[in-house]
A and B are shown apart, each in its own frame.
Chain A
Amino acid sequence: MGPVELLHMSVFSQSFSPCGRFLAAGNNYGEIAIFSLSAALSPDATDLSQKPILTFTAHEGPVFTLLSTDTHLLSAGNGEISAWSWVELTKRSTKAVWTRRPNYKSSLEIPEINAMIINPKDNSLIVGGGDNNIHIMDMETGTFKSVLQGHTDYIHCLALKEREGEILSGGEDGAVRIWDSRTRQAVHCIEVFKYEECARPQFGKWISCLATDSDWMLCGGGPSLSLWHLRSMSPTSVFPLAGCQREAVFHQDVIFAVGEGPHVSHCLLGGSVKAQIPCTSPSLNTLALNLSSTEHRVMTAAGSSDKIDVFTNFSYRAFSLSF
């Protein structure tokens, strides 16, 4: 990686290891870097501990999404999904355990995969990609069980309501569809851009971030980031954030959102923006919270640069890891 490549690097995805001590990040060159959080957070950390312990090329295209199961790291790039063993990765071995590809209809081009989530109830992997469909793969057998069709443009993000077993998907067509995982049918379809409070026509209608917390749903993108009550299917609060948000998460009583603009926005459920914490990248693509580990409880954010900001206290940036 020469200095020019580093200058033009963007980080698209992050995932913490199941033990919580490692962070995997994927960039636009198809590389995945594994960082040791325990080394970077230890009191005698040096500059070297902020560099990855392992960097390898995982895919031909950019790595848009990363997901961690109990034992494996799943990465998806140019239309294919690869799995890597966390144990092997920490031992610096870069052999993929398996690589699979959903059945795409058109053979002209390979659509990229933008989002993946795991449904723990039936141990299936739900993949949303550039062919406008959601593919569901059984983790044990590795076969693609079903395809959820309905979107008219490619899918940006996925979310899962665990209790009800419902899958939410948001796409370029501006619609948020709610699917029932057992019946494989679309239950609801919300066209966010049609609601005047949220719509921002100057940006477009696409939905790029989705998050759910039991009855509540966050969605944003072209339209403003808004909090929806799913029972009533109506927006309760609209957050006055400039720029399009690309990822948002619920955390206790606060909502963290990142997108265009060099900051992480802390928003309250009522619709007000509590704080905007500055970051190093001019715009951020991904936000992750390491909740599985108590001693390495950090938030990391990364975007249009080679740096991943680490927040030990969510109110300010502690340091940055770099590729």
Chain B
Amino acid sequence: MASCTICLPALMMLVLDLNTVESVWPLPQKLAISEERYPLSPTHFNFYYGEDQASIMTDCSLLDSAFTRYFPLIFPDLTSGNGVLPSTEEKAFSLVVTMNQKDCDGYPNEGSSERYQLNVSAGQAVLNSDTVWGALRGLETFSQLVQQDEDGTYFINKTEIEDFPSFQYRGILLDTSRHFLPLKAILNTLDAMAYSKFNVFHWHIVDDPSFPYQSRTFPDLSSKGAYHPMSHIYTQSDVRRVLTHARLRGIRVIPEFDSPGHTQSWGKGQPNLLTPCYKGSSPSGKFGPINPASALSYTFMSQFLKEVTSVFPDPYLHLGGDEVNFSCWQSNPDVRAFMQKMGFGRDYTKLESFYMENIVNITSNLNKTSIVWQDVFDYHERIPKDTILHIWKGLPAQYKAEMSRMTKAGHRVLLGAPWYINHIAYGQDWRISYNVQPLNFPGTEEQKKLVIGGEVSMWGEYVDATNLSPRLWPRACAAAERLWSDESQTRSAEAAFPRLQAFRCSLLRRGVRAEPLSPGHCRDEYRGI
């Protein structure tokens, strides 16, 4: 211990730094932390349901498993023996959870309240929420409030929090077609999403390069279209595992089955689905987008989407509709004949609109809300009002103008354009993500209300399990705060920086391979390789 005369000053500085930082990420809407602090001991800590709740909450397995999950997150050194030093001040501490609604068994959806209140005082913290989803968010916040002092003793400051998300839709897109992502990588991403209060996993599950979704109805799609029919697929039980893992963390899973473009891999297992391209008067052997001139295409899509909507419980379904290349359609005589018959002239955007309208109708007949990429709106303003439009293109000036146009037309809008974080650059590019202002576009208050949220995209051209986590975390955290927190309190990336650094270290401690933001260190570095 003699040597500690040397090391103490350094350690104390570190701990003090952490203490002076408001350590919750994303920043709660209303947060008051006072100097007064209470020690916590893992051996004298309990989760309780509020007294009047005990009867109705006896079988809330969702919260029970959240308690199990959060206990070691709150007391990370439990297994190493540190931090369990008996303290003379040791007192029991409990976290009491009360909820206004008792539904524990459902899935989160767009209407789910995530609001919660958390009051930490001597011996007790009270967590109050409307729903179990709000309770999950409050638990996460609570776990971030618990810190360790220089002796490893856990403590929490007296705190009052009232919190709710600024945007109801806070998503992350993973692309499992350009590279297959093993289930483990997806589940780990869901964990990290919960730590940053993301609530939608947009699963861009299939695309041109591969079709890893194993369909019950059309097994050839993956057996012929996946990179490998046995090892590079998501079976139905894999999908259920993702859904369950996400639900337990209050995360919605919205699958995307992008069509009519981005479907090269579909064609391998589903003959006659894609448009045969022509070279002069004969087929070239290549294929283009789904054939919109063939009735078979719609029959297939109805059957397939019927399966999809029964597998994925979320009320939303992403239908894609982006980047359709018209040259193959133009080359095909049957498609040209169809154009003529429909009176579309030479305007292939009309043909795409025709296709999308059919797919959107199929989807609404299955009682699902459609999300489509902005291209569909750009081509065709006459799409059903309840269709959600996903913006992905352009510089700020362009996407802001697009948001104005879309919301003016009465559509709900989802902002993805500024958060394509598969695009990497040297240095602290998280600041750019952080400075995005989703509501800063010309429009009325009513229009602004139509912005349901935003999404971080991690497209897969250069990303697989080897580099997904460090590319995603903590860079995605910038958008997480922008979408959850009050913009007026979180304008400065500079002010957020130390808090984000602390959060990044806690991600590491929780097993998320989050990359560094600047030179420095974490007490617990990433232990894997």
Chains A and B are bound partners: no
User: Which B residues lie at the A interface, using CB under 8 A?
Assistant: none
User: Which A residues lie at the B interface, using CB under 8 A?
Assistant: none
